Amino acid sequence: MKFNALEISKRLDGSVEGDASVTIQSLSRIEDAEEGSLSFLAHNKYLPHLSKTKASAVLVSNDLQLDDAVGTTLIRVKDAYAAFTQLLIYWSEEKKKQQQQQGIHATAVIDPSVKLGEDVFIGPYVCIGANSTLESGVRIEAHCVIGAHVTIKQNTQLHPRVTVLDETEIGSNCILHAGVVLGSDGFGFAPQEKKAYLKIPQLGKVIIKNNVEIGANTTVDRATLGATLIGEGVKLDNLVQIAHNVEIGAHTVIAAQTGVAGSSKVGSRCVIGGQVGIVGHLTLGDGVQIQGQTGVIKNIPDGGVVQGTPAIDYKSFYKSYALFKRLPTLESRLAQLEKNK
């Protein structure tokens, strides 16, 4: 893809300072940009790079004041970071259009009862079970496995080696990254005599609403009965574990290596950091924020912000941590006081 600085400025409702005809072929960081690339400057700590960058053009905010002239073309916009994000989205979409494959690969194994919408792409070695439905614009990349009675709605994309087991429902405009598993058995075992365990059948399903993105190697278990539910617009990072009968509210985001145990309910618009553990059968309200590496063992009301294990209000956590850091000094002082008695 090739654009000039003037074309980019018009797309971003900006203005050009310098050579408006300079050609842009790639996007890059300002530190390691090369000729023909466009970068951005959104934080003053990167200002020293502006005079040294090899980028052919740099996005900067309208309010950025420069003491010295620079050798690169500047594209001034209202918000350089937001504008660069828009450009990344556009660049990505154009790249996909150029690289997009079409049709059904000859090696795909598709049950005759499967219903396929228009413009569906099915890649090499994909397997699709009986009575499943793929609506228009769905893209299934290589080596994915789709079970029986699965529904995948419009314009959803499955990256390579995604596994979607029986009776799972996936909404429209979703993205499932490589290695995602939906509908695996929940961790249900009933203790028996002689320390044995009896496997509890998992007869429910998984429902993924619209505009959900699920990171690589994340798992969402099917419910014992009913459904494990991932709400509208939820974003799950890589290596997240969602257990059986969990419900995640709309537009909640969860970072990597977090686990939510069975039957817990997480509200809408929550922000959950990495390596968080949430025990089963809890209720977390809307707008909850959980800092990384927190262990949640009790309900959290709407708007709660917690940290630590077990989780407490984050302000209380930092007060306690300030004392905790001083314990060696306090212990030494106490020992000296006892010695002086």
198 Cβ partners below 8 Å, 6+ apart?
A: 189, 190, 191, 192
Q: Which two tokens stand for residue 22?
A: 């300079």
Catalytic residue, chosen from 159, 177, 244, 251, is 244
Does the active-site annotation cover 43? no
Q: Give the strand order in the sheet containing 133-134.
A: 115-116, 133-134, 151-152, 169-170, 205-208, 227-230, 247-248, 265-266, 283-284
Phi first, then psi, for residue 333 (nearest 5°) are -65, -40
CB 122 within 8 A of CB 109: no
Q: Say how far apart CA 230 and CA 285 lie, in whole Å.
A: 15
Among 173, 264, 252, CA closest to 221: 264
Phi first, then psi, for residue 158 (nearest 5°) are -115, 120
Q: What is the residue whose two structure tokens read 């190697």? A: 217
Among 104, 109, 112, 116, CA closest to 130: 112
Among 335, 43, 184, 1, CA closest to 59: 43
Report the phi/psi class of residue 320: left, alpha or beta, with left for phi > 0 and alpha for psi in -120 to 50.
alpha
CB 240 within 8 A of CB 218: yes
Chain centroid offset of residue 270 CA:
13
CB 269 within 8 A of CB 251: yes
Scored b (16 or more CB within 10 A) or e, 202-234 reads bebbbbbbbbbbbbbbbbbbbbbeebbbbbebb
Scored b (16 or more CB within 10 A) or e, 73-103 reads bbbbbeebeebbeebeeebeeeeeeeeeeee
Residues designated as active site: 244
